[in-house]
């Protein structure tokens, strides 16, 4: 008798409500701040990470080609104080 492991897909649904008005695709135009170790792991493993502004994405593009996300920058600068 052989046993095969069950597989499935886990979908994470955000339950918090974000009332900011952000146009569809606006986050795609920026480089985002996230913990450096998580960025490296995401690049190697192809897994999504969450930026300081809340955007979730899989890093794959050269961040120097895009301006820094103003919201990430503001959050980062407030953490330095």
Per-residue confidence (pLDDT) for residue 68, from 0 to 100: 92
Q: Where are the domains of the chain?
A: 26-80
Q: How confident is the model at residue 6, as a pLDDT?
A: 54
pTM of the predicted protein model: 0.60
Q: Is 31 exposed, middle or buried (0-12, 13-18, 19+ CB in 10 A)?
A: middle
Parts of the chain with a pLDDT under 50: 1-2, 4, 7-23, 26
Residue 63: what pLDDT? 85
């Amino acid at each position: 008798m052989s046993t095969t492991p069950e597989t499935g897909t886990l979908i994470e649904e955000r339950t918090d409500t974000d009332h900011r008005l952000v146009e569809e695709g606006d986050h795609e135009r920026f480089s985002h701040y996230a913990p450096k170790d998580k960025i490296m792991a995401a690049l190697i493993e192809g897994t999504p990470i969450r930026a300081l502004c809340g955007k979730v994405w899989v890093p794959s593009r050269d961040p120097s080609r895009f301006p820094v996300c103003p919201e990430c920058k503001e959050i980062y600068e407030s953490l330095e104080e």
